[in-house]
Structure 1
Amino acid sequence: MPKRQREEPHENADGGPAAGPSNAAVARASKSDSRFSVVQLDEQQVALLERCVAEAVPLLAVKPEIRVMGRPCRQQRNVGFFSDDSEGYRYSGQLAASIPLSPSLRPLLAAVNAAHGTDFNGILVNQYCDGTDYLSAHSDDERHLSGGGTVVGISYGAERVFRIRTKERQSTTPRHPIVADVVLASGAMYSMTGADFQKEFTHEIPRQASVPGGRVSFTFRKHDS
C-alpha cells in the first residue's frame, strides 16, 4: 500500500494545477494522459463554499436506498443532486432527482467552469457525517455523463482519504492495486482529467472510523439529460 500523501498546494484555485505526488503516481500508472491534481481555494472561495454547505445539506436525502446486484441497500452517506438543466443523476439503477441550484451553488458552479474551461451543469453533494460513512470504489462512467474526461470535486470539513486504484489487476494482489491515497484538506479542489481516467482508475472514500468530524463533497460533471 502506498504511503498516504497529504496534498499541500500553495496555488489558489485560479492558478495552475498542483504537481503533487498523487499526480505523479497517476501519471506513472496511466497508459494515456490521465492526471490528478489538487489546488486550495482562497478565503473568498471558502466563504462561498461555506454558504453552499449551509444551503445544500438540509436538502440531502438521508442514506438513500440503491440496489447492488439486485439487492436493496443503504448508501453510507447523505446525497443530493443539484442542477437547473438535468432531470437527475442516474446511477446504480436509481435516479437522484434534480434539486434546483441554490443562490450560492450557482456562482460556485460558474467559478468551477471558469477555472477549468468546462461546461458542467450538475453538482452531486455527498455528506459524510463521520469517519464511518464511506463511498465504495467506482468510476464516473455512467452513460448519461458527457465525454471529455474531466471531473472536479471540492472537499469541505474533516480531512478524508481520497483513494485512487488502477483497474489493472495484478496476479499477486487479490484487489486492484492502490495508486494513491490523497488526504484532502477542507477547501481542496481536485480534478481527474484525461479522456481515459475513468477507464483506467476507480476512486473511493474509504471508511476511517477514527475520524470524528463530518465532510461534505461537491462533485461537478456534465449531464446529458
Structure 2
Amino acid sequence: MDRYVVKRPAREAGGGGGRKRPRPEDPASREPASGNPPWQEIRAEGLNCDYRLLFGRAEADEIFQQLEEEVEYFEGEMTKLHVFGKWHNIPRKQVSYGDPELTYTYSGVTFSPKPWIPVLSRIRDRITLDTGHTFNFVLINRYKDGGDHIGEHRDDERELVPRSPIASVSFGACRDFVFRHCDSRGKNATRHIKPIKLQLAHGSLLMMKYPTNVYWYHSLPIRKKVLTPRINLTFRKVMTLAKK
C-alpha cells in the first residue's frame, strides 16, 4: 500500500498562521481522536480513499465477538445473486441493517434492511464522530475463511446519495482488498493501470470517497492460507426512492 499512500505532514504547533480550517466532512482533514493513528490518504487517478485504525485491539476484539453473537444473516433466496444472467450462491454470509423503509438493490436482489442493533449503532456512531458523515444503512459480509470472497464490483447503485462516501469497517482476519481501474479490466482493456492492493486490518476504517466508485472496481480475492473469519461492514447513505 505504501506507494499509494500520501502521508499528511504533522501540524505545526501554535495554530497554523492563516491556514483554512479543515471541513468536517473530509475525514483526512480531521484530527484523529487522542491516541489513535493518523489518517493515511490513498490516492491514484480517480481514486480517493482515507484509511486508519478506528478501534484499538481490545475494543475490536470485543466488537467482533458481539457481531458473531448478534448479527443474523440472510437465509434462503436472499443468499443468491444474479450475475451474467444466472443465479449464484453468495460465497459468504450477507445481511443488511438500516433505517425503516429503505431498500437497496445489488446484483438483482433487493434487500430490505433489518432494524439497527446496539453493536451496529456503536460502530456507526464512532464513524460519524471521526468523519462527520452520517449513514442510514449497512451491508455486512462475513467471510468464514480465505475461501469466501467477493468478485470485482463497484458500489454505485442508484439508491445511494450521489457523491456520498462509503465507510468500510473490517474486523477479524486481515485480507487483501484489491482496486482495479475500469479501463484496465479484462481482455478488452484500453489502458494498463496497475491494480492497487490494500490490507485491511482488524478494527480499521477505509473511507471510499467520490469518485472512487466511478472509476475503480474492488474485490476481496480468495486467499486459501487465511483460516479465520473476517466481518466487513460497509456503511452507506441511501435515498428513500419514490414508490411507483
TM-score past 0.5 threshold = yes
- Rate the CA distance shift 1:4–1:82 in 2: closer, same or farther, 3 A: farther
2:40 aligns to what?
A: 19
**CA deviations over 1:112-137 (Å, ceiling 9, x no partner):** 12222112101111000110110111
2:22 aligns to what?
A: none
CA contact (8 A) 1:66 1:75 kept: yes
1:205 aligns to what?
A: 220
1:184 aligns to what?
A: 200
How far apart are 1:3 and its partner, in Å?
Answer: 9.1
Aligned pairs for 1:1-225 (under 5 A) are: 14=33, 18-19=39-40, 23=42, 27-30=43-46, 34-40=47-53, 41-43=55-57, 45-46=59-60, 47-56=62-71, 59-61=72-74, 64-169=79-184, 177-193=193-209, 195-225=210-240
Q: Equivalents in 2 of 1:123, 1:89: separation in Å?
A: 10
How far apart are 1:156 and its partner, in Å?
Answer: 0.8
CA contact (8 A) 1:49 1:108 kept: no
- Rate the CA distance shift 1:176–1:49 in 2: closer, same or farther, 3 A: farther
CA contact (8 A) 1:124 1:219 kept: yes
**CA deviations over 1:59-105 (Å, ceiling 9, x no partner):** 11258111112211111110000012343321111112211111221
Amino acid at match of 1:36: C
What is the percentage of aligned positions where both structures have the same residue?
24
How far apart are 1:176 and its partner, in Å?
Answer: 7.3
Q: Equivalents in 1 of 2:137, 2:187: separation in Å?
A: 40
How far apart are 1:168 and its partner, in Å?
Answer: 1.9
How far apart are 1:110 and its partner, in Å?
Answer: 1.9
CA contact (8 A) 1:13 1:189 kept: no
Question: TM-score of the superposition, structure 2-length normalised?
Answer: 0.75
Amino acid at match of 2:167: V
Q: Secondary structure at the match of 1:124?
A: strand
Q: Secondary structure at the match of 1:168?
A: helix
Q: Equivalents in 2 of 1:185, 1:81: separation in Å?
A: 22
- Rate the CA distance shift 1:87–1:169 in 2: closer, same or farther, 3 A: same
Could you say which structure has the greater relative contact order, defined with CA pairs below 8 angstroms and 6 or more residues apart? 1
Structure 1, gaps ≥5 residues long = 7-11
